[in-house]
Structure 1
Amino acid sequence: MHHSIRKSLALVPFALVVLAPAARGGASDALPPAVRDAKAQLLSQFFAQGGASPAVLEYRRKLGEYQAARAAFDEEAGAYWSQISEKRKTRNAKRRSGQQITLDDYVLEHPPLYNGPKRPVNPEPEETPERPTKKPIPVVADLLRAAQELYQFAPQRPSSEVEFKRAYARYALASGLTREQAVRVYSFETGGTGSYDVQAGIEHGGKRAISTAMGYNQLLTTNSVELLAEQGHEFIRVLSDKVARTSGPARQSLEHKLVVLKKMVAHAKSVPDTWSEHEKIGNTAQGWAMHAMVLDIDVGPMLQTHKLLTSVLFARAKGYTRPLSAAELEMMNLTGDGTGLDMVTMPQAMREQVPTSNFFQRGGYERNPVAIRHNTVAKLLAVTDTRMDSNGNNAGARELAGAF
């Protein structure tokens, strides 16, 4: 800012020399009044604009155009997304009272998308506010370190990828998932190539984690904490049964794992059973240690299974008895059970007409090119199926299918 002020002040004397009338008695006394007025007007504009350069003036003009266009768009979009929110509240209320949902309960127009001018680049240096440093996203090494430091525990890693796939297949089938659901969701979530410890961002040549999503069904740290809180009793029961069937050194290792699992479950249950509370734990070393259980050959398959099974059970509890297709299950997995079931229970004729925007918040929708391009429920389910079909031909998907 000081730099631009100095620049303006430095230009003023030159402007005065150029624009000021010559001394009385000089040749300029003979200048026509129109010329003198033009000079005076130019000098007035110069001071009004703070001595700005043509580039800065052009930037200000474009900035004004951008701000006007953006304000008009935000007003239109704000009204649209308010309507989306109100319709969602109406649907939820009707479901609670057992009333039928109709087309009138959805917004049937597609949302406005901004297509005005882009924000121009300021040719002058600007002071940018300091942004808080982002916390690094934990990776496998961090999870293992947290588990060791807090619980003196190291997950039992599988001897091979196929060993983990077989353990997952056995538990998934026994729990009520179908082969089609498990394999096709895996194909969608990992591209049909993911390993049991694959992490979002560190795949297909990626070098940097973009989230804590891990494994076949891409559990976040918060998912692991939540499943330990809500399904921990089941995990403890299954592991206790295995301990009872085991002897020797292997039993000692399992007994220690069971003790650790019970401690983790107790901690996960120590807070209210809400996503926000589980997320708070998930963002700590305690949550990282819990997330390390995704890597364990005994507990990991149970976590991956229940990530999907909770959606299946939720649908049944709401009276939806038809088996979920893999694409329908993925919608619940991606958007949450309540929102996903809204799409799942919709008749095909309505799916063809209802925009996907009805199931998103504004920010999430505007950052989701898939939902924008495939902008009805039917189109979104169709592209999900297509991707599952394509990725299902990859080696990891074929290996998982063979494990069932």
Structure 2
Amino acid sequence: MTAAAIAATLSSVALAQTPQQIAEYRRKLAEYNAVRQPFDEAASSYWTAIGDKRRARNAKRRNGEAIIAEDYVLTQPPVYTGPPKPVDPSPPEKPPKPRAPLPVVADFLSQAQEHFHFTPRKPATEIDYKRAYARVASSYGLTRDQAVRIYSFESGGNGKYDVQAGLEGNRPGARAISTALGYNQLLTTNTIGLLTEHGGIILKALHEKTHQASGAQKAELQRKAAVVQQMVAFCKTVPNQWSAHEKLGVTPRGIAVHALNLDIDVGPLLQTLKLMDSVNFAKRKGYHAPLTAAELEMMNLTGDGNGFDMVSMPQAMRAVVPTSNFFQRNGYERNPVAIRNNTVAKLLAATDARMDNQINLQGAKDLAAAF
């Protein structure tokens, strides 16, 4: 422990309620530190090696060199099995701040109305949205198998167009666990990135619809195109980087643009473009074999770079390369699925199994029929 950490610990211990509590806390803390410190050193070395290997692989790919199994860390990350960190009995100097609740669909809608005077055009029925999504996805080259299986994985096989992560089953007391929304569970950060990179494509699609419409529908599409143009301009006020988009996504206007996923004219296109970014990324990297739904989901879930790193390796390597190679430490340690299915082959198989389990639900059947 650093001198500052020791001072902070002693300061907090001094506030403990009784000498017995102080002594017990100190004893447990010493036991914990004796085990935790060597674990942290081993874990730090492991995750440093993960980053070093990743950078080396990227350099080899840039040079056109073949990637072999030894370009990955082939051991599993260390697991902490020691005592838990003891709870300091001292009263906190300041009460912890309550965490702000995540925005939900009602917030996306209200912020869109407040900041852009925009209300999404909702589908008359869920089937209408599924048909719109199927038309767009097919026109871009996504297969029915890819679209339906990813929908099954991401939205639970029965999710509606406005399904949000954590709120899939209408459970009592359920709370949103992220801003992930829709058939492919786009985050606010995703929506901002898509508007930044593909705003022209989205506006072109709206202009084409406007050209074919007449009367009130034409006027509505013209207004919508003007709003989308404002949203695109807003998204481009920051650098085209994930971290910048993430910060923008928690602002009121950033929350507002996420409502586009709920619009039947724009939402299916956003959901499709997210998957097509992954398909096109793989093609640019020279991978022209059709991506299975599970492979495409890996790219959708872990990011194109890490996902491609997984799907581009031979089957034999998939069986031995740990999933930890494709995560940052914090993300991996919060991901029980990646920990449980600790090789690439196991993770892809688990993804396929979940898809197999959920494609027979009614929502997935309806989407398949829409193609």
TM range (shorter): over 0.9
Q: Which runs of 5+ in 1 are unaligned?
A: 9-51
* Aligned with 1:331 (options 298, 310, 313): 298
Alpha-carbon spacing, 1:377–1:2, altered in 2? closer, same or farther (3 Å): closer
Cα distance in 2, alignment partners of residues 321 and 86 from structure 1: 28
Partner of 2:5: none
Equivalent in the alignment of 1:354 = 321
Instruction: Give, in angstroms, the shift of residue 356 of structure 1.
Output: 0.6
Quote the offset at 1:105 in angstroms: 0.6
2:110 aligned partner: 145
Q: How does 1:269-280 map to 2 (within 5 A)?
A: 269-280=236-247
Partner residue in 2 for 1:15? none
Separation of aligned partners in 1, 2:328 and 2:212: 49
1:300 aligns with 2:267: yes
CA deviation profile, 1:180-224 (whole Å, cap 9, x unmatched): 111001111111011000111112134211111100000111111
Paired residues for 1:5-404 under 5 Å: 52-53=19-20, 56-122=22-88, 124-127=89-92, 129-206=94-171, 207-404=174-371
Q: How many residues align?
A: 359
Give CA-to-partner distance per residue, 1:270-304, whole Å, 9 cap, x none: 33211122222211111122111000010000011
Letter in 1 for 2:185: Q
The letter of the residue matching 1:118 is: P
Match for 2:57: what amino acid?
Answer: R
Does the Cα contact within 8 Å between 2:16 and 2:22 map onto a contact in 1? no
Mapped to 1, the partners of 2:277 and 2:345 lie a distance apart of 24
CA shift, 1:121, in A, is 3.8
Aligned-residue offset at 1:126: 3.1
CA RMSD of aligned residues (A): 1.9
Change (3 A) 1:97 1:139: same
C-alpha separation between the residues in 1 aligned to 2:116 and 2:69? Answer: 53
**Partner amino acid for 2:147?**
A
Give yes or no for contact 2:17–2:90 (8 Å, CA) kept in 1.
no
Superposition misfits of 4+ residues, deviation over 4 angstroms? 1-8
Distance between the aligned counterparts of 1:177 and 1:374, measured in 2?
27
Percent identity, aligned pairs only, is: 58
Question: In 2, Cα distance between the equivalents of 1:359 and 1:391?
Answer: 26
Task: Give how far 1:145 is off.
Answer: 1.2
Alpha-carbon offset, residue 269 of structure 1: 2.5
Q: Distance in 2 between matches of 1:104 and 1:6?
A: 51
Aligned partners of 2:208, 2:191: CA distance in 1, in Å? Answer: 22
Deviation at 1:63, TM superposition (A): 2.0
**CA shift digits 1:136-156 (9 cap, x unpaired):** 311111111111112211110
Match of 1:46 in 2: none
CA drift of 1:236 comes to: 0.8
Q: Which amino acid aligns with 2:362?
A: A
Task: Give the letter aligned to residue 105 of structure 1.
Answer: D
Q: Per-residue deviation at 1:7?
A: 7.4
Q: TM-score, normalised by structure 2?
A: 0.92
Alignment partner of 1:201: what SS? coil
Contact 2:163 2:182 in 1 (8 A): yes
Query: Whole-Å Cα distance in 1 between the matches of residues 258 and 363 of structure 2?
Result: 23
- 1-side partners of 2:184 and 2:59: how far apart? 31
1:301-347 deviations in whole A, cap 9, x for unaligned? 00111111100011011111001000000110111001100001000
SS in 2 for 1:78: helix
CA pair 5-169 structure 1, distance change in 2 beyond 3 A: closer
Match of 2:4 in 1: none
Q: CA deviation at 1:5?
A: 7.6
Structure 2: segments with no counterpart, 5+ residues: 1-10
- CA displacement at 1:248 relative to structure 2: 1.1
Counterpart secondary structure, 1:75: helix
- Match of 1:361, as an amino acid? Q
Change (3 A) 1:85 1:128: farther
